[in-house]
Structure 1
Amino acid sequence: MGSEIRKIDFSGLEMKKAGTKEWVEVRGEVMEALETKGFFEAVYDSVSMETLEELFGPVLKELFALPPDIKMRNHSDKPLQGYIPRSSAKGFNYESLKVHDASSDSSLSSFSALMWPPNGNPTFCEVVGRYVGNMRELEMMVRRMVVEALGVEKEWESLEKSVVYGLRMTEYDAPVNQETMVTMPAHRDIIVMTIIRQQEGRGLEIQTKDDRWLLASPNSFNVVIGESFQAWSNGRVKATPHRVKMLNNEKRYSIQLRSQFKDGCMIQAPEELVDQDHPQLYKPYNFADYLKFLFSNGGWAENTDTLKAYCGFEGKKKMMA
């Protein structure tokens, strides 16, 4: 049941309150949730209902109503970094678009101009920009709390400079497999952190350590740790498997703010997090190279724990071709 997912109240919190009593109390809840489960639901009142209603109403519906050839302009040579079309053959009855470096006004304007040439869509930029700003603040608070709880505050500045934000917007239709109703299979995100918002509907399920699936609440901000943060923290926080299992055949919308390491950055645990009790679990690796690995030689399909296969110290490392 969705009620089993830990709820943590961030109401009234912001980055400038770091170190206050209320911050420290929430930090303790965050670390307990991430160390034991790898996810939690954030109660966060900084996003207005007006913003959410605009975003999940006219903004997303107008975006996905665009012709396929227009949406294809959201192209990237890198896997998962641009437009993802529906693929009934693979059982994926959803399509998704991504704004890279979404916290940049120029990136939002460029994406908007691609979708609505030549002048873009000011409403899209205003509403999405407002939402991204709120979500970036929440993501930074969670990431900062983890850094503080691990005792590596001196790493914060370099970590912050290494992170870029992407915004992925997804529209789900009736699942191809009407028996399972799964329209996005179980997976771990390969990035730092994802904040998933679903509005007026359910579908997101998060897997527990004892292999149960918890149905996330509608109208919630679900914070899910990715493999990059698992590696950076030397396994202190864990990447969490999740999937989308539709409850009916009605359209469903989801929006995800994703933090990830910039191209060229090496993902490596701070030396303070490696000791006799916590041996180094992963060799330093480059995010872009890991992405290539996953989409070459069946890297994703052949290994359950692809991060361990790619750069783990235990067992033989599978090399890229």
Structure 2
Amino acid sequence: MGSEMTEIRKIDFSGLEMRKAGTEEWIKVRGEVMEALETKGFFEAVYDNVSRETLEELFGPVLKELFALPLDVKMIMNHSDKPYEAYVPRRPGCNFESLKVHDASSDSSISNFAALLWPPNGNTTFCEVAGKYVWEMKELETMVRRMVVEALGVEKQWESFEKSVVYGFKMAEYDAPVNPESVVTMPTHRDINIMNFIRQQEGQGLEIQTGDGKWLVASPNSFNVIVGESLQAWSNGRVNAPPHRVKMRNNNEKRHSIQFGSYFKDECIIQAPGELVDQDHPQVYKPFNYANYAKFLFSDGGWAENTDTLKAYCGLIEGEENDGMKP
């Protein structure tokens, strides 16, 4: 099915901050957020706390300098055994590369990341600009996640939920297509984390699929908020992770995007709160470990396009447990 320019729902967070939780303004936005996530799984956030200057620096000199680094330098980041954790290089059939800062909100993560790529002293500009962006986006992510918890009526779960979260900051560069046709450069998939906040600048590419199969083209210069499978499972299916992809047009320009995402910590078991499970809402997903699911997803045969991999994985877990109970 073709892509449509239908406008994605915009929700205005201008002037909102966590300390306004419970106000009339907060409750109004909370209702809009929950309606969008329950029906679509995504929306576009209007958020003016991130300055134009910060975005211009990020999408200008900062990302250009980052991706201009030699391949052998960027490959230094691949010291982790976790799939897609740090650096994803270009490869046959894949015309993009990405770099990710794990635990991005911690005091030393961004400076340690920069020290590896720009030894021995790091990169002051990168640290300042990236750090400012991460801090401002953390406020937006926390607001949206808090609103979901409140709307679900499980506020008493907030403290434990908050302690379970870690953040990632991912930067990607896509080559322009070399043929006259539009090219899907990132195949259809669902995110596996809690939520992703995707920003693309001066160019289209991100497309999100609705429940009836339509592909909506995300506008540039916006914050696209997308539910991940972890939140889908934690909410017992009350919100759903939408399929999305990147489809490049032949505009002879590179495309850059930045993603700020929230994740459950590796040791966490993802399970819907008891308040969300009853006769009318039976448990949809068997409890699972986030790190183990990620390993399954990126193993041979784990991920398959247009497949509900989370449901398949939870079914696999249940099957293994049942097998283990047999005499």
Distance (Å, rounded) in 2 between the aligned partners of 1:317 and 1:303: 24
Q: Which amino acid in structure 2 is aligned with residue 188 of structure 1?
A: R
1:62 matched to 2:65? The reply is: yes
The 3 A distance-change label for structure 1 pair 188 and 41 is: same
Q: Where has structure 1 moved over 6 Å in runs of 4 or more?
A: none
Mapping of 1:190-205 within 5 angstroms? 190-205=192-207
Q: 1:134 aligns with which of 129, 133, 136?
A: 136
Distance (Å, rounded) in 1 between the aligned partners of 2:319 and 2:172: 37
User: Match for residue 78 of structure 1?
Assistant: 82
Question: Which segment is superposed worse, 289-298 or 112-121?
Answer: 289-298
Q: 1:52 aligns with which of 47, 51, 55?
A: 55
Q: Which amino acid in structure 1 is aligned with residue 20 of structure 2?
A: K
* Stretches of structure 1 lacking an aligned partner (at least 5 in a row): none
Mapping of 1:142-161 within 5 angstroms? 142-161=144-163
Indicate conservation of the 8 Å contact 2:176/2:249, yes or no: no
Q: Which amino acid in structure 2 is aligned with residue 55 of structure 1?
A: L
How far apart are residue 25 of structure 1 and its match?
Answer: 0.1
Mapping of 1:142-221 within 5 angstroms? 142-175=144-177, 179-221=181-223
The 3 A distance-change label for structure 1 pair 2 and 141 is: farther
Distance (Å, rounded) in 1 between the aligned partners of 2:278 and 2:311: 19
The 3 A distance-change label for structure 1 pair 48 and 283 is: same
Q: Name the SS of the counterpart of 1:73 in structure 2.
A: helix
Aligned-residue sequence identity (percent) comes to: 76
Q: 1:231 aligns with which of 230, 233, 236?
A: 233
Mapping of 1:280-299 within 5 angstroms? 280-299=283-302
Q: TM-score when scaled to structure 2?
A: 0.93
How far apart are residue 177 of structure 1 and its match?
Answer: 7.1
Distance (Å, rounded) in 2 between the aligned partners of 1:273 and 1:218: 36
The 3 A distance-change label for structure 1 pair 305 and 318 is: farther
Q: Which amino acid in structure 2 is aligned with residue 144 of structure 1?
A: R
Q: Name the SS of the counterpart of 1:258 in structure 2.
A: strand
Q: 1:20 aligns with which of 9, 19, 23?
A: 23
Distance (Å, rounded) in 2 between the aligned partners of 1:312 and 1:14: 40
Distance (Å, rounded) in 2 between the aligned partners of 1:316 and 1:303: 22
Distance (Å, rounded) in 2 between the aligned partners of 1:2 and 1:318: 46
Indicate conservation of the 8 Å contact 1:282/1:313, yes or no: no
Indicate conservation of the 8 Å contact 1:281/1:312, yes or no: no
Q: TM-score when scaled to structure 1?
A: 0.95
The 3 A distance-change label for structure 1 pair 6 and 115 is: same
The 3 A distance-change label for structure 1 pair 68 and 270 is: same
CA RMSD, Structure 1 to Structure 2 (Å): 1.9
Indicate conservation of the 8 Å contact 1:183/1:244, yes or no: yes
User: Match for residue 35 of structure 1?
Assistant: 38
Q: Which amino acid in structure 2 is aligned with residue 21 of structure 1?
A: E
The 3 A distance-change label for structure 1 pair 312 and 278 is: farther
Distance (Å, rounded) in 1 between the aligned partners of 2:217 and 2:141: 22
